Structure 1
Amino acid sequence: MTHWLLLLGAAVVMLAFLVVFLMLRLRLREQEDERLRQEVQRLRDDLGALCSGAVGVSERVARIEQKLQRVSERQEQMEFSTVESQPYDQAVELARKGATAEELVAHCGLTKGEADLVVMMHRMDVG
């Protein structure tokens, strides 16, 4: 009988150690779970901040692209008006030096009406 009591006592002690061991393991798992929950929350916060930042960058890029488009259009208009006005600038200069309408048509590519008008307006500057 004492033999059985000894075995029962040993089993109870082993069971107590097993319960303590399992409780410690459970506590460690709970701590690891909490650490992982905090890490997931931190990652969610970081992802939210990145998404917000990306939206801001996207809006900024869109505004810059719009400005660039407007600048390009203005540059094209300026280039077109410069190219378009070059024959007239040259014709005005020639008219001031006394060129005839026929000479303006020949050298500047103006129509007869344009050349007559330039001569009338700018020949008066001479005298």
Structure 2
Amino acid sequence: MASLSLMHWLLMGNMGLLLLVGAFMWSLKRQQNQDANRLDQAVGSLQQAHQAMSKSTIGMGRKLKQIDGRLQHAERKVVLPTTDEATFQQASRLVGLGATASDLVDSCGVARGEAELIVSLKRQTAH
């Protein structure tokens, strides 16, 4: 067998190196494809989650709008007591707790005659 010349050794070395670089490049390309597939799956999952959240948010918005409409409708129906009614209710509660006519004049600002009338009516209903 004839001995190989330096040129042959260099060509075989270069061929081996080329095969090694080719295998490395193929491995990198394969890894890149796998990463791309995983990213595609992750993006798909995120898109589905986003769509579900969007639908849920829209549904919640509609429900809140319904509740707000009902609340506004109910608020229109509520009749707040007039200032005199509120004062009478407060005075009546105070008398129930044991307040006197003077206490009502001082705390509620009602006239002395009204305070005495409230006290006497409350006492009569208590008996």
Q: Tell me whether the two structures share a fold, i.e. TM-score over 0.5.
A: yes
Superposed CA deviations along residues 72-100 of structure 1, whole A, max 9, x for unmatched, are: 01113xx4xx75xx8xxxxxxxxxxxxxx
The answer for the alignment partner of 1:36 in structure 2 is 39
* Matched length: 80
Return the letter of the residue paired with 2:27: L
Q: Percent identity?
A: 20
Identify which of structures 1 and 2 has the higher relative contact order when contacts are C-alpha pairs closer than 8 Å and 6+ apart.
Answer: 1
Q: Distance in 2 between matches of 1:64 and 1:37?
A: 40
Aligned letter for 1:59?
Answer: R
Alignment of 1:47-58 (within 5 A): 47-58=50-61
State the one-letter code of the partner of 2:60.
Answer: V
The Cα RMSD (Å) is: 1.6
Aligned with 2:18 (options 15, 18, 29): 15
Offset at residue 70 of structure 1 (A): 1.1
* Bigger helix fraction: 1
Superposition TM-score, scaled by structure 1 size: 0.59
| Amino acid aligned to 2:50 | L
How far apart are the structure 1 equivalents of 2:18 and 2:45? 40
Task: After superposition, give the CA deviation of every residue in 1:101-122 in whole Å (9 maximum; x if it has no partner).
Answer: xxxxxxxxxxxxxxxxxxxxxx
| 1:66 equivalent in structure 2 | 69
Q: Give ranges in structure 1 of 5+ residues lacking alignment.
A: 87-127
Name structure 2 gaps, 5 residues minimum: 86-127
Q: Which residue of 1 aligns with 2:106?
A: none
Q: Map residues 34-113 of structure 1 onto 2, 5 A cutoff.
A: 34-76=37-79, 79=80
